[in-house]
Chains A and B, each alone.
Chain A
């Protein structure tokens, strides 16, 4: 190791120390927004305008809701509307706002053995997968995507008895890695899919069903429930996200020329 590398590491350590000293808020976020690179695009803009550093903890929606309910975050950004509304009515959050949307897509091997690309709706596509007993991997982790997936089946597959339906208990990325390796179908949000590097020969086989709408919401954690929360900075971030500056920052985020999220705050 050269002296220059050693020096660089020392600078790295002190930079990490300096970052600790400044003022920051913690966002409990779903992984899809974090893995896509959205935050790297929009957070520097927010910091430039407000001076507040935003630290993102990316976990599944289920875990994000629990962490925020434990007061281990100042802001919650997830995609499971019913659970978000319950979070607010339970007194954990101040109010819920729509931020942006995109959609879920059904991906699978390009050969499409179950023929889902010939169907028009997600429910029909899943029926076919069940009929043909084509392998389908489910997140199985109580995440936003998992909740949507389980709600799409006309007849819920039994993970115990049906060998073709495999519950992973893993994040979106791990599930996609597994789906590609197994040649299996799975449901994913479009942002994760577009930013995913290991697609193999997998393709989007079904999209555009209104049932696949994917709404993201943002909630500031309630200072009444969590006295130590940084309420002002948290509300500042929420207001920025649903305001014109945040909304245009979200709209500007693209991967390979494709916009990943459509801002739709009211």
Chain B
């Protein structure tokens, strides 16, 4: 019987020893997924708002496609990106394969549909409530998009967090385009996969617990800030 207590003890030991290798791996995980979510928000927030507020031929198809892309298998994204970034692929000149940049690109592909789809939903709902007011104010299309995104900012934090969850949790894409290279492209999820394959199951689970704690910390911090902002909006 696998001893779960060992895994918990090992997780605590890892964290409190401040193990240099672990710190590097956690740092890279945060850097890669943080950059990916930031870029995905820069792309997905305007795109989602535009999809919510514009009527054009093929809009419905695009909405469905974005929604479906939320279920993209990471390993397929990784493989496709590998073929493109490979030295025998079309983007060989950039020499990005097996670098953190390649990992960020892969996660942007995975996270952007999530941010876009959730943004579209939030903005669509808000637009229904506010559209008459905004029309009465004769706001331009860009002003309306800006106003709605700003009014929805607290709800959109959840969209970003959903994206962060996806980015921190996936292993298939970063494994292929990053290569899980020690001290260069090894992140939390690829370390867990590696330790599992080495039969070090307690260590693998301990790393999983650290990742979980990290995710918990990020969500608590962001939602805490959000609640404070909400409080200020309500009373300010």
Contacts and interface: CB of A to CB of B under 8 A. Distances in A.
Main secondary structure of the interface of A (DSSP, over half): helix
Interface residues of B, number: 36
Contacts of A56: 181-182
Interface residues of A, number: 40
Given A1-B217, A20-B100, A226-B87, A13 B180 contact: no
Contacts of B184: 16, 19-20, 24, 55
Nearest to B221: A1
A16 B180 contact: no
A256 interface: no
Contacts of B194: 35
Given A20-B184, A55-B181, A56-B181, A10 B27 contact: yes
Contacts of B196: 173-174, 177
A195 interface: yes
B199 A173 contact: yes
B219 interface: no
A9 B30 contact: yes
B197 interface: yes
Interface in B146-194: 179-184, 194
Contacts of B183: 15-16, 19
Interface of A: 1, 4-5, 8-13, 15-16, 19-20, 24, 26, 31, 35, 39-40, 55-58, 67, 70-72, 171-174, 176-177, 195-199, 226, 228
What 10 A-B pairs are tightest by C-beta distance, nearest first?
A173-B197, A12-B27, A71-B87, A198-B199, A57-B179, A197-B199, A196-B199, A12-B24, A197-B200, A70-B88
7 contacts: A12-B27, A16-B184, A39-B182, A55-B98, A57-B181, A58-B180, A177-B197
